[in-house]
Chain A
Amino acid sequence: MGVREREFVASLESLPDIRSFVLEEDGAEGRLPPRRAAHMDVAIEEIVVNICSYAYEIPPGRLTVRVEESPDAFSVEFLDNGVAFDPLSVDDPDVSLPLDGRDAGGLGILLIRRMMDEVHYSRKGDLNSLRIVMTAGGR
């Protein structure tokens, strides 16, 4: 329980380390039910991939991950100092289109929205902050 924070290189190579930092470090795996841990697993990848792909004009930059656990909530904040971008400003893709009309754009943020109980974006100085929250009574 409590708060832990670490800085990573914003690159796909860091994904396994970020994953284990959030999901396994400090006994976290014992506190998340397997289904919720799987949801968090998906959300972590989608956010990290997004930051690694778009946030930096000259990749790779840095990415700070801050985990805050309480009896009521499991919260993870991702901070990058890349270009300002609010992923929540993007419309959800139309998931009813047939094969010919589909592309995979926007599916990542849709998965995050549907699997997390809360998603918050804010601009903090020169940082993008995306905070995802799973609550104890959540989905």
Chain B
Amino acid sequence: MFEMKFAAEGGGLVAELSGRLDARSAPDFERDALAAADGLEGERGMLLDLSGLEYISSAGLRSILLLARRLSGSSGRVVLCGMAGVVKEVFDISGFDSFLPVASGRDEGLSLLSGRGA
């Protein structure tokens, strides 16, 4: 079971991911996230709030990589927050946290998106 909800907050689009982002749910996530990225107007990027995410595999990482590439092509970015447990371990092992900014929470994530933060 995987779910994604969008909320526009303070100059950025927040996507709240919950459940399992695996090889079965990744294609739907990828389609919806890329469509949302293409629909951004004033916002500079997307904050992925992963605090509700219980599980991610390399298929989920691949989709997040595609999303980050799509946004970087339009000078936007992807910021992450809320990783815990095995989700955090998967990000650590893959090194994705070395090229995607990781915020301590939603407020910091939004300020990173708007360029106010470091």
* Residue positions of A touching B, CB distance < 8 A: 12, 15, 35, 38-39, 41-42, 45-46, 49, 95-99, 102-104, 107-108, 110-111, 114-115
Within 8 Å by CB of B61, from A38, A98, A99, A104, lies A104
Q: List 19 A-B contacts (CB under 8 A).
A: A12-B23, A15-B22, A35-B86, A38-B85, A38-B86, A41-B55, A42-B55, A45-B59, A96-B95, A96-B98, A97-B99, A102-B65, A104-B62, A108-B58, A110-B93, A111-B58, A111-B90, A114-B93, A115-B89
- Which single residue of chain B is at the shortest CB-CB distance from A94? B95
Q: Are A107 and B61 in contact (CB under 8 A)?
A: yes
Q: List, in ascending order, chain B residues with CB within 8 A of A107's CB.
A: 58, 61-62, 94
Scoring B residues 97 to 112 as 1 if CB is less than 8 Å from chain A, else 0, what string do you get?
0111000000000000
Partner of A15, one of B24, B58, B100: B24
- 8 Å CB interface, B19-71 against A: 22-24, 55, 57-59, 61-62, 65, 68-69
CB <8 Å contact, B65 and A104: yes
Please name all residues of chain A whose beta carbon is closer than 8 Å to the beta carbon of B68 when the two chains form the complex.
Answer: 99
**For this complex, into which size category does the number of interface residues on chain B fall?**
20 to 34
Q: Complex Cα distance A107/B65, Å?
A: 12
Whether B98 pairs with A111 at a CB distance below 8 angstroms is no
With A15-B24, A97-B95 already in contact, 6 other A-B pairs whose C-beta atoms are closer than 8 Å: A96-B98, A99-B69, A104-B58, A107-B58, A107-B94, A111-B93
Contact A49 B90 (CB under 8 A): no
CB closest residue in chain A, given B66: A104
